A and B are shown apart, each in its own frame.
Chain A
Amino acid sequence: MANGIAADSTYESYLAKKGFTAWALTTDHKRIGIMYLITISFFFLLAGVTALLMRYELLTPELDFFSTTTQYNVAFTLHGSLMVFFFIVPGIAASLGNFLIPLMIGARDVAFPRLNLLSYWVYLVGTVILMTALAQPADTGWTFYTPYSVETGTNVILITLGVFVLGFSSILTGMNFIVTVHKLRAPGMTWNRLPLFIWASYATAILQLLATPVVGITLLLLIMEKSLDIGFFDPAKGGDPILFQNFFWFYSHPAVYIMVIPAFGIISEIIPVFARKPIFGYRAIAYSSFAIAIISFFVWLHHMFVSGISETAAAIFSFLTMLVAIPTAIKVFNWLATLYKGSIEFHSSMLYALSFIFLFTIGGLTGVFLGALAVDVHLHDTYFVVAHMHYVMIGGTVMGFFGALHFWYPKWFGKTFNELTAKASWFLVFVGFNVTFFPQFFMGYQGMPRRYATYPEQFQSAHVLSTYGSWILGLGIFIMTVNLIAGIFSRKVPEGNPYKSLSLEWQMPSPPPHNNFEDIPIVTDWTYAYGKK
C-alpha cells in the first residue's frame, strides 16, 4: 500500500474551527454529516423512549399506564413517524453518506456544498414543524391512512406538513449524491473500483429521487383534503380511500429500501476489513442493490392484499414481492462467502455486522411469508408484521448503523471508545432485541393484532417477555450511547488507520483535514485487495 496521503503533522482538522456559525453555516460535508448524525440520534432516542412507554403499557392486558387509548395511539404514531421519517429515512443516507461519500471517492466535497447545507436546514425546519405538532399529536399511525386521518380531530396537518418539508431535504440530498458520484470521482476511481458503500448510497439516492415526490404529492393532497374539504380519498364525496394507500405505498415500499440499502453498504465495508479478505462477489453485491431498487417500485400492492384489490393484481404483486428475495439473498451469500476461511477479528463493529446478517435474514425470510398471498391474509395487521418490520429495521438498518458508529468513530473524532464496554452493550442490544421481538412472531401468528393498547389475557406472558426484552434493549442502547459520548472526551488517540483498512477514507489522518485531500489521489487498485499484498 503506497501511502501517498500520509499524515502531515501540521494539518488542520475539520473539527478545528469552533463556534456556532462555524458549524451552522458550514458547507463542509463532514460537518454537515456530523450535524445530521447528532440530530438523527436525538430523534432515534426520543422515538425509542415512546416505544418503551408503549411496551410498558402492554405489560398488562388492561389500560393502566396511559389514561386513554388515544394516548396509546398517539404514542405509536409518534414512535413510527419519528423513527421512519426523522431517523431512519434520512439517517444513514444523510449522516454517513455526507461524511463518507467524498472521502471514499477522493473528492474534496459533494457536488453542491451550499445545497447540501440547505438540505440540512430544510430537514431541521421539518423537525421543528413536527415538534410544534407535538402539542396535539396525530393518532393515525405513521401511515396516515384515510379516511381516519381526515376524520380525526388530532393534528394530522402539521405532522404531515413536517414530513412533506422533510421530503425536500431527502430529494436534494439524493440529487447531490448522484451528481457527486458521477462527476467527482478521483482519477482512477472507476465504477468497478468504487467502495460498495458508494454503490449502496447511489442506489439509495435514486430511490430518494424517484419515490419521495410521490409521497410529497400524497401528503399535500391529504393536507388539502383536510383543509379545503376536498373528497379525493372520501367515498362519500366520490373519492377513493384505496388511492391514498396506493400513493402512500408507492413511496413507502421503496422507502423501506431507502432505509436498508445504506446498511447493506456498511456491512460490505466492515466485513472484508475484519475478515481480512477481499469482498466476495463485488459486482454481484453492487448490482443487486440496483436490482432491489428497481423491483422495489413494483411491489407496493403487497401492503394492500386485504384492502379490497383485484385478485389478479394481488397474485402478480405476490410473485413480484418474492423476486426481491433473490438480490437480497445474493448479498447475504456473498457476505458469508467473504467470511469463509477469513481471519476474523471480533471488533465491536464486526459484532454488529454479524448480527446484521443473522437478524436481517430472519427479517427477510419472514418477509417472504408475508409476501405470500394466502399467508398474508392470516398475518396481516398482526404482531407478526410488527416483528418482521423490526427485524428488518432494527435487526437490519439499526444494527448496520450501530456498526458504522463503532467502525468510523475514530475517523470522525480522532478518538476512540472503550471497546470492552462497546462489546458488553452490543451483547445487551442483541439479546434485548431478540427477547423483545421474537415472541411477537408467535403472538402475531396466534392473532394478536397490532396497534391495540389492550389485549386478551392469553397473550400476556408473551407481552411481558417482550416488555422485559425492551428494557434490556433500552439498557444496551443507553450504555452504548454513554460509551460513545464518553469516548469523545477520552484522551485515547487511535492510530490513523486502526483497522489497516485499504479504503480511501482511512488513507488520511483522523480526523480528516478540513480540505480532505491536499492533492487529489490517483487510484490504481480496487478497495478490497486484502491478503494480496
Chain B
Amino acid sequence: MSTTTADHTEDHAHAHGHGLGEAVTHDAAKFGMWLFLGTEILLFGGLFAAYALFRAKYPDLFVEYHKNLDLEKGVFNTFVLLFSSFTMALAVLFAQRKKQLYTTIFLAITFVCGAIFAIVKYFEYAHKFEDHIYPSKNIFYALYYMTTGLHMIHVFIGMIIILALLGMNMKGKFVKGRYTPVEVGGLYWHLVDLIWIYLFPLMYLIG
C-alpha cells in the first residue's frame, strides 16, 4: 500500500495531537450510544416476543389478570416519565447553550422524576407482594415483573447517569462546550422512557 504521512498538510495539527478532535469524539460517542440503544431494544425485544407468544396463547389470562394492576399509578408514572423526557431535552438544550444553572435545574428535575417513578413503582410492587402475588403466580405476572423489573433497573442506571452529569455540569464541563456526555446520557434516558411507553399499554391497557 502506498502511503505518505500527513506532514505539511492541513491535517498537521490534528495528526500530531494525540487525542481525537472534539468533533470526532462527539460524533463517535453519539453513534456508539445509538448502537447501544439498538442492543437495548433487542434485549427488551426478547421479552416482547415472549409477551406476544403467551398473549396469543392465553388471551383470557391476560385480560383477566391485568385488571389487578393499579391503572392509576400506571397512568401517573407514564406522565412522570414523559415529563422527565421533556426536562431532559431541555437540560441538553441548555447545556449546548452553555447555561450552567438551567442545565442543573433541569437535570435535577429529571432525576426527581426518576425517583418519583421508582417510589410509585415500589408501592405498586409492595401492594402486590402483600396480596401474595409473585412472579411465580402465572405467566402474566411473570412477564409483568420481568419487563417492569428490567425497566426499573434501567431507570436506576439512568438516574446514576444523571447524577454523574450533574457532577460534570457543576465542574463547568459543559460550559466549555464539551456537552457530549449530556447529549449521550439524554439519549439513554429517552430510551428508558420509550420502553415504558410500550410497556404501559401492553400491561395496563389490555382488552
Contact = CB atoms under 8 A, between A and B. Distances in A.
A525 interface: yes
B43 A217 contact: yes
B89 to A, nearest CB: 24
B6 A210 contact: no
B43 A213 contact: yes
Interface stretch (A140-148, A178-186, A372-380): A178-186
B5 interface: yes
A219 to B, nearest CB: 10
A1 B28 contact: no
Contact of A178 (B35, B47, B150): B35
Sort chain A's interface into a size bin: 35 or more
Classify the interface of chain B: helix, strand, loop or mixed.
helix
Given A108-B18, A183-B28, A183-B31, A519 B6 contact: yes
A238 B31 contact: no
A221 B47 CA distance: 9
Interface in B11-48: 11, 14-16, 18, 20, 24, 27-29, 31-32, 35-36, 38-40, 42-47
Interface string A483-519: 0000000000000000000111001000000010011
Given A515-B18, A521-B4, A183 B142 contact: no
Contact of A183 (B7, B27, B47, B49): B27
Interface in A288-307: none
A111 B11 contact: no
B135 interface: yes
Contacts of B4: 2, 4, 521-522, 524
A239 B139 contact: yes
A228 B134 contact: yes
Interface string B135-152: 110110010001000100
B68 interface: no
A247 interface: yes
A504 B7 contact: no
A70 to B, nearest CB: 28
A176 interface: yes
Interface residues of B, number: 46
A176 B27 CA distance: 13
Interface in A205-222: 209-210, 212-214, 216-218, 220-221
A189 B82 CA distance: 44
Contact of A521 (B3, B43, B136): B3
Given A112-B32, A175-B36, A209-B35, A243 B3 contact: no
A209 B41 CA distance: 11
B47 A217 contact: yes
A525 B150 CA distance: 49
Contacts of A214: 42-43, 45-46
Contact of A2 (B3, B11, B44, B53): B3
Contact of B39 (A171, A184, A230, A232): A171
A243 B50 contact: yes
Contacts of B42: 210, 213-214
A243 B47 CA distance: 11
A231 interface: yes
Nearest to A233: B50
B2 to A, nearest CB: 4
B20 A184 contact: yes
Interface string A216-253: 11101100100011111000011110010001000000
A526 B1 contact: yes
A315 interface: no
Contacts of A210: 38-39, 42
Interface centre among B20, B32, B45, B58 (most CB of A within 10 A): B32
Given A108-B18, A224-B135, A5 B1 contact: no
A193 B2 CA distance: 11
Contacts of A4: 3-5
26 contacts: A1-B1, A112-B29, A175-B35, A179-B31, A184-B20, A210-B42, A213-B39, A213-B40, A213-B43, A216-B46, A221-B50, A228-B136, A229-B135, A231-B139, A232-B50, A238-B54, A504-B1, A504-B3, A519-B5, A519-B7, A519-B16, A520-B15, A521-B4, A522-B4, A523-B3, A529-B2
Given A183-B27, A522-B5, 15 more contacts: A1-B1, A4-B5, A108-B18, A111-B28, A171-B36, A213-B40, A217-B45, A224-B142, A229-B135, A239-B139, A504-B3, A522-B9, A524-B3, A525-B2, A529-B1
Interface of A: 1-2, 4-5, 106, 108, 111-112, 171, 175-176, 178-179, 182-184, 187, 193, 209-210, 212-214, 216-218, 220-221, 224, 228-232, 237-240, 243, 247, 502-504, 507, 515, 518-527, 529
Interface of B: 1-7, 9, 11, 14-16, 18, 20, 24, 27-29, 31-32, 35-36, 38-40, 42-47, 49-50, 53-54, 57-58, 61, 134-136, 138-139, 142, 146, 150
Of all A-B residue pairs in the complex, the 7 with the closest CB atoms, nearest first, are A217-B46, A519-B5, A213-B43, A213-B42, A229-B136, A521-B3, A230-B142
